Amino acid sequence: MENQQETAGPDLCGVRCIHTERVARAGEEALEAATLDRLARTFGALSDPTRLKLVMALSGGEMCVCDLAAFLKVSPSAVSHQLARLRDLCLVKRRRQGQVLYYSLDDEHVAGLLELGLAHALE
The CA angle 72-75-81, to the nearest 5 degrees, is 90
Q: 115 near 77, Cβ under 8 Å?
A: no
**What does the radius of gyration of the chain's CA atoms come to, in whole angstroms?**
21
Q: What is the pLDDT of residue 40?
A: 95
What is the reported pLDDT for 13?
Answer: 65
Domain segments of the chain: what residues?
1-30, 32-122
- How far is it, in rounded angstroms, from Cα 107 to Cα 66? 22
Cα 23 from Cα 95, distance rounded (Å): 46
Provide the pLDDT for residue 3: 45
Confirm or reject CATH 3.40.1450.10 for domain 32-122, answering yes or no. Answer: no
DSSP 32: P
Q: Which residue has the higher pLDDT, 23 or 54?
A: 54
pLDDT score of 19: 87
pLDDT digits (tens, 9 = 90+) for 35-78: 999 999 999 999 999 999 999 999 999 999 999 999 999 999 99
Is residue 8 scored above 80 in pLDDT? no
Percentage of the chain modeled with pLDDT above 70: 88
